[in-house]
Amino acid sequence: MALGFIRKVFSFGGPDAPPAQPPTPPETPPEMPPAPQPETPQSPPDFPPQPEPVQPREVPTFPPLPDAPAPTEMPPAAPPGIPSAGDADRAEAVADVPNAARPADDTPGAGEGTAPGRITVGKAVGVAARAVEPAPPEAPRPGWFQRLSQGLARSSRELTGNIAGVFTKKKLDEDTLQDLEDVLIRADLGMETALRVTDALSASRYGRDVSDADVRAIMAAEIEKVLAPVAMPLELDLRVKPHVVLVVGVNGTGKTTTIGKLAAKLTAGGLKVTLAAGDTFRAAAIEQLKIWGERTGSQVVSSRLGADAAGLAFEAYEKARDAGSDVLIIDTAGRLQNKVELMAELEKIVRVLGKHDPDAPHTVLQTVDATTGQNALSQVEIFRNVAGVSGLVMTKLDGTARGGILVAIAAKHKLPVYFIGVGEQVDDLEPFSAGDFARAIAGV
């Protein structure tokens, strides 16, 4: 019996064994947070599929529709002003196309269609093309006589105004002549010129009706008579080279500027010029002369600040001679005529130049400031005695000057007046004309 029980319980597939039952599906495990481990294999096909856990930050991709092309991924847009990869490809493609088949450039700032005021940033920054209005034509430069009249405006205005105030009477008498003489002297024309004008007026109009216009016409004629003998051109003897021109004068009379203008005229005439920066006391004068040398293509000889001016003049002569210069123009420091030591230094420059050539300097120009007044008379006298001044250049006739002093200088010293300057431009230094000056200062 016991054996039968054992056979019944532990029988495997025997006739008494119950039919086999299908296995029950395993229970679904509780949902667990995602972990960075490989996915579990799928359940056997006999069991229903289990939903896969959703992964965070993962966007599912879906296949494209059968009738629509798959979208292409676009490259990120390039920042403004930086070419993108697509632009580079397009540029390479255009480069292989002949010029006739290339598309029009639509880059901002390129071509004529660019909006005004825009710029193109490439290898360089270029201003976009824009319509530019034509510049208005420049006003014609006033002629020489007009500029001279403007330079003598103050002298002429005061002189003619005072003359008009004197001639309030119809008849010319002694009192009127005396008043006119005082007016002319106050205008710096000098005693000699004032007497000439009053004598001429008395001889032709005494006791007769006279107007201020009549007086101004007679005054212009008499002033021209005084100035005509000294209105001479500057002549340079080029048989001796270099022809040495020494420029002297007191402080602030325009020596360096006059040298630059004169060098411009000489080089324009085909002469070779050397400039010597002899004003070794003023650094600005040395630099200014170097600028004029660059403008005119002239050789400039200079030294350190405070160097001996006479030694510089000696060296400049040698360099000008070796360079084959036609003219050597030497600048000097401004000095007051009453400074004995400075005038002695000027004498030394003249002596040193004489060691090269006994006749050097061949020409000595003195610049006279038109605003100086009566003090210019003593300046000319002292510089003439020390440096042997051979001619004058009247400068700074800018409308504020009292140019009548030139008439007094001409009447007293009889020195040639080579040039007159009315401005800073090269053509503002012109040969002196007695007639133009007389008419301008008389206001006729």
Judged on CB neighbours under 10 Å (0-12, 13-18, 19+), 274 is buried
Closest CA to 333 of 316, 361, 351, 308: 308
Q: Which of 122, 136, 138 is nearest to 82 (CA)?
A: 122
What residues are designated binding site for GTP?
249-256, 331-335, 395-398
Residue 269 half-sphere exposure toward CB, CA atoms < 13 A: 11
Neighbours of 149 (CB within 10 A): 20
The whole-angstrom distance between residue 195's C-alpha and the CA centroid of its chain comes to 49
Residue type at 321 in one-letter notation: R
Residue 218 tokens read as 């007679």
Select from 67, 85, 68 the least CA-distant residue to 76.
85
Q: Show binding-site residues.
A: 249-256, 331-335, 395-398
Structure tokens, 6: 């054992």
Q: Does an H or E element contain 406, and which?
A: helix 405-413
Q: What are phi and psi of 125, to 5 degrees?
A: -90, 120
